[in-house]
Amino acid sequence: MANDWLHLFPEKVRMLLKSLPLQLLSAVEEIRVREGRPLEINYSGKYHFLSADGRLTQKPEEAYRPDREDSHRLLDLISNHSLYTMEEELRKGFITIPGGHRIGLAGRTVLSGGGVEHLRDITGFNVRIAREVPGVADSVLPYLLDKGRLRVLHTLILSPPQHGKTTLLRDLARQISGGSQNRQGGSRQGLKVGIVDERSEIAGSRRGIPAFDVGPRTDILDGCPKAEGMMMMIRSLSPDVIIADEIGRPEDADAVTEALHAGITVVASAHGKEVAELARRPGLGSLLEHRMFERYVILHRSEAGLSFRVLDSQKRALLPGAPGERTGGERHA
Amino acid sequence: MLKLFGAVLVVLAGTLAGFQRARQYADRPRNIRSLIAALQRLETEIMYGFTPLPEALRRIGQQCKEPLRALFVQAAEEMSPPHDRSAEEAFGRAMEAHWKAAALKGAEKEVIRQLSCTLGTSDRSNQSNHIALALQQLKQEETAAREDQGKYETMSKSLGLLLGALIVILIF
């Protein structure tokens, strides 16, 4: 499982990446390939270029520049030599490969009827490496539980991109679904969890089987649009908790409302820095206005590690996590 | 006595060579036909099955008869991990290894080579166009091959026998 994403890259780039120290390799978060421009890798919130002899450098002029051949090869490999199976993905601008790694694409769009129909001349790739960090949700989970009624509270997780929303959701799914034993003397029963995994990132499913540990009582609707998926879950899979990533469109908000009224807990994530900011967004504003969510978790990642702030439905702080107070940043490859 | 035995051997060799030649004329249209059928199946896999190329090729290979079977299966192998070669490269290698076994000529090889450059690199409608083009070219080749068969098949057979006889006459 470790570094299973290396085989994605064309020979030359793969060799360069392999020459990096293993420790560094297992901390890499993003690899950005742009045709004719410096090869960039990002980890722990910093960026570096990779030179042709395998060194990390800050100077773009020393960096290795992937050529046309490299980008063609990369596209060929990530699409499993079959770009025609990826039409929908190309329209959305990203491909999720087995293992849950997401590859964002940049190229020239082909329009049809005013909408993006296709992406061609793809020359920019952002390979985001998905990692399991078991235990990252340890310090947050107690705040999301209604101990008396043995249920999970409606939660919205907020952070800018790349701060670990999906990683946190994945661990929450695992822990909520698995329950826990002998922690502070009590045991918590596992709940039925349904993941609507529109981008196949949370569970990283391959042919319907999750690549990550998302808990024993978890069902996954892989590749399903969130709004529709939540409704399907409610109707057919009777989950106690629905988990969805990156909600934001008005129809998502409707589906969340529906789920909440059906007595199902929703744990979702959204892009954003502050709750107040979110309230101004058209889709999510109404959810916030009606205080649908009982908990807000705001993630912040700095060099010191991952920190959390937990707010209740009135936006009062419950857990003022100073940076570094609780680091979920220990990474396991 | 020995002379007579030698003469029979020469005539026999000539006849066999003629039959061999004739068989090639008969096999070529048949092989092109199966190639056409295989590409049509490939089109279905791409258009309606959304099957990834390596898997589609493997399936098609398993449905084909030799020598196309070996060709498609090897192309599929070359495209799968750990080789992970591009379609163009995979077909190049597979054709290198198995083309000789088929009674196919350079024209068909070129059609497949050109198709392999575009396989898997574009959206479905584009793939369909390329396959349709390849099919059209193959059909032309098939017609030509059938004409050749009509013209040369029986001729090759008799020519082989006659050539053997000619050699025998010349030597005696």
- CB-nearest to B79 from A7, A81, A84 is A81
Q: Chain-wide mean pLDDT for chain A?
A: 83
Interface subset of B 45-104, CB within 8 angstroms of A = 46, 50-54, 56, 79, 81-82, 84, 86-87
Stretch A86-93: mean pLDDT: 85
Give B123's contacts in chain A (Cβ within 8 Å). Answer: 83-84, 87, 90, 118
Q: Which of B45, B53, B55, B57 to mutate to test the interface with A (most CBs of A within 10 A)?
A: B53
pLDDT band at B56 (very low <50, low <70, confident <90, very high): very high
Structure confidence at residue A184 (pLDDT)? 55
* Alpha-carbon distance values, A142 to A152, A300, B2 (Å): 9, 19, 103
Residues A90 and A170 in one domain: no
Task: Identify whether B89 is part of a domain.
Answer: yes
Cα A63 to Cα A52: distance, rounded to the nearest angstrom: 6
Residues A34 and A97 in one domain: yes
Structure confidence at residue A328 (pLDDT)? 40
Residues A118 and A18 in one domain: yes
Task: Identify whether B117 is part of a domain.
Answer: yes
Stretch B41-45: mean pLDDT: 92
Structure confidence at residue B85 (pLDDT)? 86
Cα A268 to Cα A293: distance, rounded to the nearest angstrom: 10
Phi-psi map region of A326: left, alpha, beta (phi>0 left; psi -120 to 50 alpha): beta
Structure confidence at residue A149 (pLDDT)? 57
Residues A153 and A240 in one domain: yes
Task: Identify whether B10 is part of a domain.
Answer: no
> B87-98 and B106-118 are packed helices; what angle lies between their axes, rounded to 10 degrees?
160
Tokens 């599929």, located at residue: B76
- CB-nearest to B46 from A77, A84, A118 is A84
Chain-chain contact of A76 with B54 (C-beta, under 8 angstroms): no
- Please check the confidence at residue B135 and state whether its pLDDT lies above 90: yes
Containing domain of residue A160, as a range? Answer: 141-332
pLDDT band at A117 (very low <50, low <70, confident <90, very high): confident
Structure confidence at residue A207 (pLDDT)? 75
Structure confidence at residue A219 (pLDDT)? 92
Tokens 């929908």, located at residue: A88
pLDDT band at B36 (very low <50, low <70, confident <90, very high): very high
What is the percent of chain A where pLDDT is above 70?
Answer: 91
Q: What is the pLDDT of residues A126-160, one digit of tens each?
A: 998 888 888 888 888 888 887 665 788 889 998 88
Stretch B116-143: mean pLDDT: 91
Name the domain boundary from A74, A104, A128.
A128
Task: Identify whether B122 is part of a domain.
Answer: yes
Task: Identify whether A53 is part of a domain.
Answer: yes
Structure confidence at residue B86 (pLDDT)? 87
Residues A268 and A160 in one domain: yes
Q: What is the pLDDT of residues A208-264, one digit of tens each?
A: 888 888 889 899 998 888 889 998 998 898 899 999 988 888 888 888 888 888 888
- CB-nearest to B122 from A77, A80, A84 is A84
In a 10 Å sphere around its CB, with 0-12 CB exposed, 13-18 middle and 19+ buried, how is residue A28 labelled?
buried
Domain containing A297 — which CATH number?
3.40.50.300
Q: Phi, psi (5° rounding) for residue A150?
A: 55, 45
What is the percent of chain A where pLDDT is above 90?
Answer: 13
In a 10 Å sphere around its CB, with 0-12 CB exposed, 13-18 middle and 19+ buried, how is residue A195 labelled?
buried
SS3 category, A311: strand
How many domains does the structure of chain B reveal? 1
SS3 category, A131: coil
Chain-chain contact of A80 with B81 (C-beta, under 8 angstroms): no
- CB-nearest to A118 from B46, B79, B123 is B123
Give A81's contacts in chain B (Cβ within 8 Å). Answer: 52-54, 79, 86-87, 119-120
Inform me whether the C-beta atom of residue B121 falls under 8 Å from chain A C-beta atoms. Answer: yes
Name the domain boundary from A101, A128, A155.
A128
- CB-nearest to B120 from A73, A81, A87 is A81
Which of B110, B73, B115, B111 has its CA nearest to residue B94?
B73
* Alpha-carbon distance values, B152 to A6, B22, B66, B145 (Å): 56, 7, 24, 10
Residues A90 and A26 in one domain: yes
Top-confidence residue, B102 or B146:
B146
Return the top range by mean pLDDT from A5-9, A147-151, B20-24: B20-24
Structure confidence at residue A194 (pLDDT)? 93
Top-confidence residue, B31 or A284:
B31
Structure confidence at residue A185 (pLDDT)? 52
Residues A122 and A146 in one domain: no
Q: How far is B168 from chain A (nearest CA, A)?
A: 58
Structure confidence at residue A320 (pLDDT)? 60
Residues A186 and A310 in one domain: yes
How many domains does the structure of chain A reveal? 2
Q: What is the pLDDT of residues A25-41, one digit of tens each?
A: 888 888 999 999 999 99
Chain-chain contact of B54 with A81 (C-beta, under 8 angstroms): yes
- Please check the confidence at residue A319 and state whether its pLDDT lies above 70: no
Q: Which of B72, B119, B123, B127 to mutate to test the interface with A (most CBs of A within 10 A)?
A: B123
Tokens representing B166? 């000619």
Give B126's contacts in chain A (Cβ within 8 Å). Answer: 84
- Please check the confidence at residue A329 and state whether its pLDDT lies above 70: no
Residues A29 and A115 in one domain: yes
Cα A215 to Cα A152: distance, rounded to the nearest angstrom: 15
Stretch A309-328: mean pLDDT: 61
Q: What is the pLDDT of residues A278-316, one digit of tens each?
A: 888 877 888 888 888 888 888 887 766 777 888 887 777
Residues A324 and A230 in one domain: yes
Chain-chain contact of B52 with A80 (C-beta, under 8 angstroms): yes
Q: Which residues contact A114 (CB under 8 A, 6 or more apart)?
A: none
Containing domain of residue B46, as a range? Answer: 25-159
Q: How far is B11 from chain A (nearest CA, A)?
A: 53
Name the domain boundary from A80, A101, A128.
A128
Residues A147 and A115 in one domain: no
Task: Identify whether B166 is part of a domain.
Answer: no
Domain containing A54 — which CATH number?
3.30.450
Stretch A112-118: mean pLDDT: 83
Residues A234 and A95 in one domain: no
Tokens 């912040």, located at residue: A300
Q: Chain-wide mean pLDDT for chain B?
A: 89
Chain-chain contact of B87 with A77 (C-beta, under 8 angstroms): no
Chain-chain contact of B54 with A77 (C-beta, under 8 angstroms): no
* Alpha-carbon distance values, A42 to A3, A296, B116 (Å): 15, 28, 36
Structure confidence at residue A250 (pLDDT)? 85
Task: Identify whether A175 is part of a domain.
Answer: yes
Cα B46 to Cα A212: distance, rounded to the nearest angstrom: 30
Task: Identify whether B136 is part of a domain.
Answer: yes
Distance, CA of B5 to chain centre: 38
pLDDT band at B137 (very low <50, low <70, confident <90, very high): very high
- Please check the confidence at residue B13 and state whether its pLDDT lies above 60: yes
Chain-chain contact of B127 with A87 (C-beta, under 8 angstroms): no
Task: Identify whether A316 is part of a domain.
Answer: yes
* Alpha-carbon distance values, A38 to A55, A58, A65, B27, B136 (Å): 13, 10, 5, 54, 44
* DSSP state letters, A147-207: TTTTEEPPEEEEE-TTSSHHHHHHHHHHHHHH-EEEETTEEE----EEEEETTS-SS--BT
Chain-chain contact of A82 with B53 (C-beta, under 8 angstroms): yes
- CB-nearest to B53 from A73, A81, A87 is A81
pLDDT band at A332 (very low <50, low <70, confident <90, very high): very low
Task: Identify whether B4 is part of a domain.
Answer: no
Chain-chain contact of A81 with B124 (C-beta, under 8 angstroms): no
Task: Identify whether B143 is part of a domain.
Answer: yes
